[in-house]
Amino acid sequence: MINHHFDDVPRSYLFSEVARRVQTYRQAHPDKSLIHMGIGDVTRPLCPPVVQAMQAASAEQGQADSFRGYGPEQGYPFLRQAISGYYESMGVQVDPADIFVSDGAKSDLGNLPDLFTTDCRVLIPDPVYPVYRDTNLMAGRPVAYLDATRENGFLPLPDDSLDAQLIYLCSPGNPTGAAYDKAGLTRWVEYAREHDAVILYDAAYESFIRSGVPRTIYEIPGAEECAIEVCSLSKTAGFTGTRCGYTVVPRTLVREGMNLHDMWLRRQSTKMNGVAYPVQRAAEAVFTPAGLAGCRESIDAYLRSAAVVARVLDDLGIWYCGGKDSPYLWMECPRGMDSWAFFDALLENAGVVGTPGSGFGRNGEGYFRLSAFAGEQQAAEAMARMADWLRRG
Ligand code: MLT
């Protein structure tokens, strides 16, 4: 009667366990100041055009002549059109009809496996965002892990020894910040097409890309026949507390005679009733010139915080990657500490919260993720405390 596969996942979700330990620390040290560089939660407010759009739409809901009830199942056409325009600005054609509006990437990434059988062979890079792993283990799917290591730049590539049907990719990657270039993504698209596999591509951090690597898998020819792309306004526009994302399921994606777009529409219209109208209006405003400029300002600020963190890690001679096309820096734990030992010691000695690398997979052991969503000053203060503690020995 009960799904015992819940025994196959860690007892707590990674960020719940981090929050639990932070809470314990707080209770023991109520007067100590903490700096949060753990969960990737934004700190800068929504930009003015987005707030204005949300306010105006909320007011509409209070008037009989503009009030709206249930919205269209895939999201309002005005928002899907705006998202399609955003893709066009990246040089990619995505039909609004292929776009589904949702409450964020996490839900879609957790729900998309509904389209696949429980014996479908899942391939997940390790380390990676734990939602991919936990979701599939909870459903009892066999999961294979693909080693992402320092040697391959945390960007593993396929070869014919793989036997995967559903492949998760995240670029720029969570937790390592490493981003695939065009050649790497092309290898994955070719693999998926040759093996009738499907790629679930998590592009939640695309707006941090400054180096010119692809911001969407649809830059790769043929991806519309093998890839679903999931994206979120959480980091792009500061929507972690507002909740809105979007997923592209191209109508050209067909496996075993089944059209995945039609299946996803059937799934969503059965199990979800959409995103609040004022939130969809706010999301629409993200894609206006003023909205995009406001969002870029915030992302630039986060990238400056990342540069502050990187400078101190350089000074300390600690190996790391990320922090360039990504808000995440992935560092080696000093003194050979394991990930949770470093988490506890950094919290205790410096009052800084990060995320233990082992929470992202076996290959994350011995590493640690710092997120750069704190302000520049806070990031500098956190790193000064870390440096002071490490130099004190
Ligand atoms: C993270 O810190 O990895 C993300 O913020 C978690 C999430 O987006 O759900």
175 upstream amide cis, omega within 30 of 0: yes
Question: Distance from the CA of 392 to the center of ligand 1, in angstroms?
Answer: 32
Cβ(39) to ligand 1 under 6 A? Answer: yes
Whose tokens are 């915080």? That residue is: 305
| pLDDT for the residue numbered 160 | 86
Cβ(106) to ligand 1 under 6 A? Answer: yes
Return the SS3 of 133.
Answer: helix
Find the CATH number of the domain harbouring 86.
Answer: 3.40.640.10
E-strand stretches of 54-128: 99-102, 122-126
pLDDT digits (tens, 9 = 90+) for 284-315: 999 999 999 999 999 999 999 999 999 999 99
Cβ(40) to ligand 1 under 6 A? Answer: yes
Distance (Å, rounded) from C-alpha 264 to C-alpha 101?
A: 12
Asked if residue 99 and residue 86 are part of one domain, the reply reads yes
Contacts of 340 (CB under 8 A, 6+ apart): 356, 358
Distance (Å, rounded) from C-alpha 375 to C-alpha 380?
A: 9
> Is residue 370 over pLDDT 90?
yes
Mean pLDDT along residues 197-213: 98
- The answer to whether 316 and 390 have CB atoms below 8 angstroms apart is yes
From 272, 288, 304, the end of a domain falls on 288
In this structure, the number of other CB atoms found within 10 A of the CB of residue 211 comes to 10
pLDDT digits (tens, 9 = 90+) for 116-160: 999 999 999 999 999 999 999 999 999 999 999 999 999 999 998
Q: How confident is the model at residue 11 (pLDDT cuts 50, 70, 90)?
A: confident
> Is residue 82 over pLDDT 80?
yes
Token pair belonging to 112: 């998309």
Atom 9 in ligand 1: residue holding the nearest Cα:
106
Residue 256 per-residue DSSP state: T
Asked if residue 265 and residue 197 are part of one domain, the reply reads yes
Tally of structural domains, the chain: 2
In terms of residue numbers, what domain contains 381? 4-46+291-392
Instruction: Determine the Cα angle at 100 with ends 12 and 40, to 5°.
Output: 35
Mean pLDDT along residues 311-321: 98
Asked if residue 235 and residue 121 are part of one domain, the reply reads yes
| pLDDT for the residue numbered 357 | 97
Q: How confident is the model at residue 342 (pLDDT cuts 50, 70, 90)?
A: very high
| 5-14, 69-78, 351-360, 380-389, range with the lowest pLDDT | 5-14
Mean pLDDT taken over the chain:
97
| pLDDT for the residue numbered 393 | 75
